[in-house]
Chains A and B, each alone.
Chain A
Amino acid sequence: KQEVTQIPAALSVPEGENLVLNCSFTDSAIYNLQWFRQDPGKGLTSLLLIQSSQREQTSGRLNASLDKSSGRSTLYIAASQPGDSATYLCAVIGYNFNKFYFGSGTKLNVKP
């Protein structure tokens, strides 16, 4: 069974810092990987989707990379802002396309 791990579980940084969130998965036979943001009491918002054939995706201040062979992905956030405070979840989907396997998330707090 696919296992997804996210490190660190929580992170607190001052505003303006660049930061990296890590995600690892045990089965490299993935179809794609997504990074989501979850705000308290809210659903999940998709941030970036990386197909298994891709190495990275960028959206604004966010950059996600994928190394499928080593089972790792990173989410890089540049010039962090207090509005970035949320829980960030990594999820992979296999070739059965039926379900996402989620990590437990990294809870980010950006201090003004």
Chain B
Amino acid sequence: GAGVSQTPSNKVTEKGKYVELRCDPISGHTALYWYRQSLGQGPEFLIYFQGTGAADDSGLPNDRFFAVRPEGSVSTLKIQRTERGDSAVYLCASSPGGRGSTDTQYFGPGTRLTVL
């Protein structure tokens, strides 16, 4: 079956531009997570969705970052006024359950964002 997919795989943009990163979770998975991974570091949590709602957005670094999941499936991470420090790999993960679940998270291949 299909795993978690992310598009684009690579995105190069200029400082100050707006970008959207897309995540298609595994069908039927209610929980969706976004992480950011800088070079040589482990992934850092950004936001967690349970269904359509953002259950925990405490990892979003500032108000330039926003994410939506309007129909409880596909999610889009939106970054406004990009800065060079936003350059990283953005990972999406999904899991079948949610709060209290023992399910593992299944990760997508990530989107490599480069801000020039």
Once the chains are docked, how many angstroms separate the CA of A21 from the CA of B45? Answer: 23
B50 CB to closest chain A CB (Å) equals 9
Q: Size class of B's contact patch?
A: 20 to 34
Residue of B nearest to A43 (CB): B107
Interface SS of B by simple majority:
loop
Once the chains are docked, how many angstroms separate the CA of A85 from the CA of B14? Answer: 35
Query: A44-B91, A98-B48 given as contacts; is B108 within 8 A of A91 (CB)?
Result: no
Q: Which residues of A contact B102 (CB under 8 A)?
A: 32, 49, 51
B1 CB to closest chain A CB (Å) equals 15
Once the chains are docked, how many angstroms separate the CA of A89 from the CA of B45? Answer: 14
Q: Which residues of B contact A41 (CB under 8 A)?
A: 109
B10 CB to closest chain A CB (Å) equals 10
Once the chains are docked, how many angstroms separate the CA of A28 from the CA of B93? Answer: 24
Interface SS of A by simple majority:
strand
Once the chains are docked, how many angstroms separate the CA of A96 from the CA of B98? Answer: 10
Query: A42-B109, A43-B107 given as contacts; is B99 within 8 A of A97 (CB)?
Result: yes
Chain A 98-112 near chain B by CB (<8 Å), digits 1 or 0: 111111110000000
Which B residues between 75 and 116 are near A, CB-CB below 8 angstroms? Answer: 91, 93, 98-102, 104-110
Q: B43: CB under 8 A from chain A? A: yes
Count A-side interface residues using an 8 Å CB cutoff.
Answer: 25
Cβ of A91 and Cβ of B56 under 8 Å apart? no
Once the chains are docked, how many angstroms separate the CA of A89 from the CA of B41? Answer: 10
Which A residues between 53 and 67 are near B, CB-CB below 8 angstroms? Answer: none
Can you list 28 residue pairs at the A/B interface with Cβ under 8 Å? A32-B102, A41-B109, A42-B110, A43-B4, A43-B91, A43-B107, A43-B109, A43-B110, A44-B43, A44-B93, A46-B104, A46-B105, A46-B106, A49-B102, A51-B102, A89-B42, A89-B43, A97-B100, A97-B101, A98-B55, A99-B48, A100-B35, A100-B43, A100-B45, A100-B105, A102-B42, A102-B44, A104-B42
